[in-house]
Structure 1
Amino acid sequence: MKSHKAESSASWFYWTARFVCMVLFKVGWRLSVQGAENVPLSGSVIFSSNHRSYADPPLVSVSCPRPIHFLAKKELFRFRPFGWLITNLNSHPLNRKSGSGGVKEMQRLLAQRCGVLVFPEGKRHKSPGLGSAKPGVGLLAIKTKTPVVPIYIHNSDLMGYFKKLTVVYGSPISPEGFSSYQDFADRVLSEIQDLRKRFLKQ
């Protein structure tokens, strides 16, 4: 696995892949971004979004004003063009049979003051709306004392129909005062749900 430098540094491969994806999303799907001013530009931070499509990590990567690291199941790296793309967008292969390996990798990245992407639902949720929260994002935030930026991604599951894509960033949520991983994960998902409701009312 390749190593990554701390905080906001990223290779020219990252910025090249990010630029290519941004052009693709802007031209093909009229990507728009709301609330980017809510993103802390330095220090460790957890980004947490709804998850409807394999395109969600690249969407967050290109819409965020700072580099983001994320985990992806190792099977996605088998298709070399896609594997090259997500690797150069700071993706790390995850063996889902390895137990706590993913959490340890995220903790390592946060200790280096990086931004990481975690899906509170734990996996893709194909039904309309949001699924239920898993405790993983709560565990990571509370153990590392790291704020979470909630994100709502609109229409990533309908990219085949060339629907307009939107990524909405909310205000950071502090894990301070929470002891239950599940309670904090529920809070994060509730904030994403609120972002979704406000967006759909626009």
Structure 2
Amino acid sequence: MVESKKNSVAKSPTSKAPAAWGTWWSRPLGRVLDHVTYRTTVTGRENIPRKGAVIFAANHLSYLDGPVMVGASPRYMHVMVRHDMFKGFLGWVLRSSGQIPVDRAGDRAALQAAKAVLERGECVGILPEGTRGSGDAASMNSGVAWLALNSGAVVVPVAVLGTRITGEHKDTIPPLRRRFQVAFGPALNIERQPGMSGRASMDAAVEQIREALSGHIREAVKISGQELPDDEKSGND
């Protein structure tokens, strides 16, 4: 998802912030997914500020990570979703529920829309690894750091586990009633570093968020016993 390190400028359909009311029904749907369709254990809700702008930054294993995070959070959020998912009935659902289409090649319009949401004191969900993978946050793109630096929102790392396991393809939808884990970590304040250039500050913020998220994921795996998928064994590229 989001802006690449080279700051390419692909355009999303609009930079207008989605209406807040759309999320009023997306979270209840997410809760049904979490606790009826699947069995989701949620920890760390106390780490989420009750008020003010929050960026939820989660690892990315499968198509379900965003909806599962939405259902687990005590606050409504607008999730940044790959733009080519906004087609047909699914596209209508995503738009109606207030999600933000984003071109992973680089999308300033989507970032501006997300920033506008944060400036209203609301929440944005983001999967900063950019694509489905092993979910260890070994790398991420710069969009989450740009949003944090330019909005003043805190970043809450989110570990999502179980939405894909070893042996499953990245396109696999997990079987019903599988157990998921969602762990919200301590909120991070991301600030520009004195004496550093804008680019250097951005790189430092990316690494600060990446280290926090990857460390939080490792801790969640240790506590829950729910392992990340081994993509080499799953046959995923």
Please report the TM-score for the alignment, with normalisation by the length of structure 1. 0.84
**Residue 174 of structure 2, aligned match among 136, 147, 160:** 160
CA apart distance, 1:93: 2.2
Q: Give the secondary-structure state (helix, strand or coil) at the position aligned to 2:113.
A: helix
**Which amino acid is 2:222 matched to?**
K
What is residue 66 of structure 1 aligned with on the other side?
Answer: 75
User: 1:16-57: per-residue Cα shift (whole Å, max 9, x none)?
Assistant: 443233123213321111001111121111111111122111
Give the 3 Å change call, closer, same or farther, for CA 96–128 of structure 1 in structure 2. Answer: closer
Q: Give the secondary-structure state (helix, strand or coil) at the position aligned to 2:80.
A: strand
CA apart distance, 1:14: 3.6
CA distance in structure 1 between the partners assigned to 2:143 and 2:105 by the alignment: 15
What is residue 107 of structure 1 aligned with on the other side?
Answer: 115
What is residue 50 of structure 1 aligned with on the other side?
Answer: 59
**Which amino acid is 1:173 matched to?**
L
1:182 and 2:197 aligned? no
Give the gaps of 5 or more residues in structure 2.
1-13, 166-172, 224-237
CA distance in structure 1 between the partners assigned to 2:28 and 2:135 by the alignment: 30
Q: Give the secondary-structure state (helix, strand or coil) at the position aligned to 2:164.
A: helix
Q: Between Structure 1 and Structure 2, whose CA radius of gyration is higher?
A: 2
After superposition, where does 1:13-162 map in structure 2 within 5 Å? 14-80=23-89, 82-96=90-104, 99-121=107-129, 123-127=130-134, 129-158=136-165, 159-162=173-176
Give the gaps of 5 or more residues in structure 1.
none
What is residue 231 of structure 2 aligned with on the other side?
Answer: none
Give the paired residue count: 195
Deviates more, 1:189-198 or 1:38-47: 189-198
Q: Give the secondary-structure state (helix, strand or coil) at the position aligned to 1:160.
A: coil
Give the 3 Å change call, closer, same or farther, for CA 135–79 of structure 1 in structure 2. Answer: same
**Which amino acid is 1:149 matched to?**
V
RMSD: 2.4
Q: Give the secondary-structure state (helix, strand or coil) at the position aligned to 1:153.
A: strand
**Which amino acid is 1:103 matched to?**
L
CA distance in structure 2 between the partners assigned to 1:146 and 1:19 by the alignment: 24
More helix by share: 1
Give the 3 Å change call, closer, same or farther, for CA 166–27 of structure 1 in structure 2. Answer: same
CA distance in structure 2 between the partners assigned to 1:115 and 1:68 by the alignment: 5
Give the 3 Å change call, closer, same or farther, for CA 4–104 of structure 1 in structure 2. Answer: closer
Give the 3 Å change call, closer, same or farther, for CA 50–3 of structure 1 in structure 2. Answer: closer
Give the 3 Å change call, closer, same or farther, for CA 24–71 of structure 1 in structure 2. Answer: closer
Contact 1:46–1:146 (8 Å) recurs in 2? yes
Contact 2:27–2:76 (8 Å) recurs in 1? no
Identity of aligned residues (%): 25
Q: Give the secondary-structure state (helix, strand or coil) at the position aligned to 1:58.
A: helix
CA apart distance, 1:129: 3.0
**Which amino acid is 1:114 matched to?**
E
